[in-house]
């Protein structure tokens, strides 16, 4: 992985894992090989490959990490393969490698997961996966790591990709076909919790094929996964929906299909790609809101399954000899439908869709389904102007897109106002090498949104089963927002090994418009107005100013990066779980991040990641930051990770990591709920049986610690247990 420096060789470590791991790896690997494939073929699946330190997401052009005036993390394919030892969830990988990422909530939903205390823009091959008009968070965990070549992370606010990146940008770069003939990779794995292997044993199968036929390259991938029961460190079965309505991984099936075909001719390339995601969870029981939440075995689940069905298509044209520079044109289309879980009326879930029957106030149609459709075009040109002005290059272009979003209860009644949005943007980014030791980068993006809100009747809700919140008419209309955001930074090359970087950058986001309309009038109970104009809800675009200063470098066998940041906003967006409403308030988030590695020997590397993040807000509008940000924005503030990787032999690589997730116990202006700390240890081993076949073994939460997942617990301020000990075995072959 690249944490702001050049890529390095694969890292490995273990203390007592050597003898036992070697024996188990040989035994399990040979058994799997005999059963699955027999004697092998060409190369082991995903042999580590060194890649140049190129970042695309920073400026929508290819730039070295060393020239980026901000924190950057690149996760290479070899790190992704290593992560698959422990987990198939990309959120777990981000927790391990990216200091700015809060913590994985171990659920299909990203609720409670933040980036530097703010929102995160998720891209796949440069195209956003976010649903800007209704933020439902179900993004990262549905991405298949088996099809990802590398992950690029840019820390801090950024407007270069448009709405949403107030905390950072994560771009998942998928694989492409290469020359050398057709290659097929097959990986099969099993995961289980040691508390109950029989009921938790879950299989995974992934197959991908790539190659070239003349000038045409192709990559096709299919992955099927099943997850069964999950358990905490006390051996207790975890609820099928610990986040009350968001869904989870337990008792679920997931299918990812991905394909890309490209045609290269000279300096030009045409590329078509598509992806289909199908996720279905069939919960067995409802969740009991105990402390921590538990399975309500007395009440079998009667709702509809949790589902996600998404289609993504992209066409791309590249021309490196375009008259004005390097041209990149992307057209994209997506269509997604997400159904959420049924959650029972409780103190933690006090507002439910009213059935019309006061004796049984919760409607059986209370689950909602979101449909979101997006189409757009992105054009970027990278112009080298060194012949005009020495050291100058410009990246410029335009984006247009249209979003349409609806959310309905199962009986077809609208849960939010149906809405559509057209956005138009232009941007310009300049890189100027002033001297041999100083580079300056600055830019601007202007974007205009045209938002159409349909008239809508917010339906009746039952409040705590004791009273009825009457319907409210929400009058829509046509609205427009426009924002211009800027960035200016510099990199000083102090020596050949050390860079000092810093700068100012802005990002912006339109608040969760759908959430405002869903709760319109429901927060003024019992004096609910008969009608509300959408314009009276006071929704405004939020602009975040980010300031960052850092130092990175590589000295022989030591690499490191340390940075500090402050981000401010006059209209930050929070969901107050106590008051059940979305608020926009003045706020400030600040923190320090550190990564470091030391190659102690040619075979042994030691490393550490550390972060501290905190934030405050103005709850009464007097201009003073009088309270801390809610836990669902800052959780946990402290995270420390130490790891050691050891290449034991040419065939065996092992690793161990220890993770500390800090506690938080601050008053957010409404309530004070403590998020407890946790300490976990994970182990992994990778054994190359031969040049064609390998087997990996992973143990997650080695000591089976009972702890509270900080991100999941922060989502609604009630306790959710984290995963107990989980063992995974994965065999991979290539032919």
pLDDT for 290 beyond 60: yes
The torsion defined by the Cα of 621, 623, 624 and 628, in degrees rounded to 10, comes to 50
The SS3 of residue 450 is: strand
Non-local (6+) Cβ contacts of 524 within 8 A are: none
**Residue 411: exposure state from Cβ atoms within 10 A (0-12, 13-18, ≥19):** exposed
Give the integer Cα–Cα distance in Å for 449 and 158. 18
* Residue percentage of the chain with pLDDT more than 90: 69
Handedness of CA 85, 87, 88, 89 (dihedral sign): negative
| CB 314 within 8 Å of CB 355 | no
Peptide bond preceding 636 in cis form (omega within 30 of 0): yes
pLDDT in tens, 344-384: 998 888 889 999 999 999 999 999 999 999 999 999 999 99
- Structure confidence at residue 349 (pLDDT): 87
Torsion angle of alpha carbons 561, 566, 569, 574, nearest 10°?
70
Are residues 100 and 155 in contact, defined by beta-carbon separation less than 8 angstroms? yes
Q: What is the pLDDT of residues 639-657, one digit of tens each?
A: 999 999 999 999 999 999 9
Instruction: Write out pLDDT tens, residues 102-115.
Output: 889 999 998 888 99
Nearest 5°: phi and psi at 78? -65, -35
Q: Provide the token pair at 83.
A: 């992560």
- Tokens 């992985």 belong to which residue? 1
Report the pLDDT averaged over residues 283-307: 95
Task: Report, as an integer, the average pLDDT of 476-496.
Answer: 93
pTM score: 0.90
Structure confidence at residue 629 (pLDDT)? 93
**E strand spans, 604-651:** 604-617, 627-628, 638-647
Q: State the pLDDT at residue 637.
A: 94
- Pick from 22-36, 123-137, 648-662: least confident: 22-36
Pairwise pLDDT comparison (462 vs 39), residue with the higher score: 462
pLDDT(159) > 90: no
Is residue 25 predicted with pLDDT exceeding 60?
Answer: no
DSSP letters for 391-442: TEEEEEEEEEEEEEEEEEETTS-BSS--EEEEEEEEEEEEEEEEETTEEEEE
Cα→Cα distances 154→74, 138, 187, 314, Å? 9, 21, 30, 23
pLDDT at 19 over 50: no
Q: pLDDT per residue over 532-574, tens digit each?
A: 888 876 667 789 999 999 999 998 899 999 999 999 998 776 6
How confident is the model at residue 15, as a pLDDT? 30
State the pLDDT confidence band at 508, using cuts at 50, 70 and 90. Answer: confident
- How much is the mean pLDDT over the chain? 88
> Which helix (H) or strand (E) is 72 found in, with range?
strand 72-75
Residue 200, SS3 per DSSP: helix
Distance CA 411, CA 714 (A): 31
Distant-in-sequence, close-in-space partners of 292: CB < 8 Å, separation ≥ 6: 232, 708, 713, 718, 719, 720, 721
CA distance 78 to 244: 36
Q: Cβ-count burial of 181 within 10 angstroms (0-12 exposed, 13-18 middle, 19+ buried)?
A: exposed
pLDDT, tens digit, 9 for 90 and up, residues 397-440: 999 999 999 999 999 999 999 999 999 999 999 999 999 999 99
pLDDT at 516: 80
* Residues contacting residue 602 through CB under 8 Å, at least 6 positions apart: 647
Which has the minimum average pLDDT: 209-218, 280-289, 507-516? 507-516
CA distance to 6, 553, 620, 654, per residue, from 601 (Å): 18, 19, 56, 15
Work out the number of other CB atoms within 10 angstroms of the CB of residue 519. Answer: 21
Q: Which residue has the higher pLDDT, 304 or 669?
A: 304
pLDDT category of residue 55 using cuts at 50, 70 and 90: low
> Where is mean pLDDT largest: 33-37, 331-335, 473-477, 714-718?
331-335
For tokens 């192709």, what's the residue?
218
Q: Measure the CA angle with vertex 333, ends 332 and 334; round to 5°.
A: 130
Residue 582: pLDDT band (50, 70, 90) is low
Q: Locate tokens 């075009």: which residue?
A: 377
> Using one digit for the tens of pLDDT, what is the confidence trace for 26-42?
333 333 333 333 333 33
3-state secondary structure 366-392: CCEEEEEEEEEEEEEEEEECCCCCCCE
């Amino acid at each position: 992985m690249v944490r702001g420096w050049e890529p390095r060789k694969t890292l490995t470590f273990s203390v007592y894992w050597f003898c036992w791991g070697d024996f188990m790896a040989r035994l399990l690997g040979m058994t799997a090989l005999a059963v699955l494939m027999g004697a092998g073929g060409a190369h082991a699946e995903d042999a580590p490959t060194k890649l140049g330190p190129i970042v695309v997401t920073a400026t929508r052009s290819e730039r070295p990490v060393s020239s980026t005036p901000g924190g950057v993390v690149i996760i290479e394919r070899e790190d992704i393969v290593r992560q698959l030892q422990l987990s198939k969830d990309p959120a777990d990988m981000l927790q391990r490698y990216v200091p700015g990422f809060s913590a994985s909530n171990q659920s299909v939903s990203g609720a409670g997961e933040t980036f530097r205390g703010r929102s995160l823009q998720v891209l796949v091959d440069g195209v956003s996966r976010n649903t800007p008009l209704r933020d439902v968070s179900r993004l990262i965990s549905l991405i298949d790591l088996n099809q990802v070549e590398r992950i690029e992370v840019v820390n801090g606010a950024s407007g270069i990709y448009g709405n949403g990146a107030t905390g950072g940008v994560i771009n998942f770069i998928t694989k492409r076909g290469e020359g050398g003939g057709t290659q097929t990779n097959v990986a099969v794995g099993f995961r289980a919790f040691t508390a109950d292997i029989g009921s938790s044993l879950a299989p995974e199968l992934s197959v991908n094929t790539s190659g070239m036929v003349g000038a045409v390259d192709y990559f096709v991938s299919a992955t099927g996964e099943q997850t069964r029961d999950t358990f905490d460190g006390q051996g207790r079965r975890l609820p099928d929906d610990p986040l009350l309505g968001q869904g989870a991984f337990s008792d679920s099936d997931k299918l990812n299909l991905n394909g890309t075909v490209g045609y290269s001719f000279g300096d030009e390339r045409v590329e078509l790609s598509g992806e289909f995601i199908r996720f279905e969870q069939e919960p067995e029981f409802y969740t009991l809101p105990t402390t921590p939440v538990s399975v309500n075995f007395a009440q079998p689940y009667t709702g509809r399954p949790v589902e996600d069905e998404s289609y993504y298509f992209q066409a791309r044209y590249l021309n490196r000899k375009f008259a004005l520079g390097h041209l990149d044109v992307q057209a994209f289309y997506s269509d997604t439908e997400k159904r959420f879980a049924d959650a029972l009326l409780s103190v933690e879930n006090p507002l439910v869709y009213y059935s019309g029957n006061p004796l049984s106030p919760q409607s059986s149609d209370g689950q909602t389904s979101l449909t979101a459709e997006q189409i757009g075009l992105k054009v970027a040109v990278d112009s080298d102007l060194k012949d005009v002005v020495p050291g100058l290059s410009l990246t410029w272009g335009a984006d247009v897109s249209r979003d349409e979003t609806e959310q309905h209860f199962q009986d077809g009644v609208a849960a939010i106002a149906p809405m559509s949005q057209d956005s138009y943007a232009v941007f310009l980014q300049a890189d100027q090498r002033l001297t041999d030791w100083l580079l300056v980068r600055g830019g601007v993006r202007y974007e205009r949104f045209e938002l159409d809100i349909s008239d809508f009747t917010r339906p009746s809700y039952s409040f705590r089963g004791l009273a009825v919140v009457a319907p409210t008419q929400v009058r829509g209309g046509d609205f427009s927002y426009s924002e211009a955001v800027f960035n200016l930074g510099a990199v000083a090359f102090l020596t050949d090994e050390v860079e000092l970087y810093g700068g100012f950058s802005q990002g912006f986001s339109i608040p969760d418009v759908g959430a405002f309309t869903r709760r319109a009038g429901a927060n003024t109970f019992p004096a609910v107005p008969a009608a509300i104009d959408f314009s009276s809800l006071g929704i405004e675009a939020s602009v975040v100013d980010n300031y960052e200063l850092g130092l990175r470098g590589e000295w022989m066998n030591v690499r490191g990066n340390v940075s500090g940041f402050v981000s401010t906003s006059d209209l930050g967006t929070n969901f107050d779980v106590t008051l059940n409403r979305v608020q926009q308030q003045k706020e400030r988030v600040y923190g320090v991040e550190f990564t470091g590695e030391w190659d102690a020997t040619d075979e042994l590397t030691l490393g550490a990641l550390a972060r501290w993040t905190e934030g405050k807000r103005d709850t009464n509008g007097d201009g003073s930051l009088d309270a801390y940000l809610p836990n669902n924005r800052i959780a946990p503030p402290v995270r420390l990770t130490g790891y050691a990787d050891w290449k034991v032999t040419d065939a065996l690589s092992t690793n161990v990591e220890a993770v500390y997730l800090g506690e938080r116990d601050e008053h957010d202006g409404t309530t004070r709920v403590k998020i407890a700390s946790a300490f976990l240890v994970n182990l992994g081993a990778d054994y190359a049986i031969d040049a064609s076949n390998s087997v990996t073994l992973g143990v997650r939460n080695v000591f089976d610690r009972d702890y509270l997942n900080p991100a999941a617990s922060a989502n609604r301020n009630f306790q959710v247990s984290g995963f107990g000990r989980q063992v995974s075995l994965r065999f991979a072959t290539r032919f």
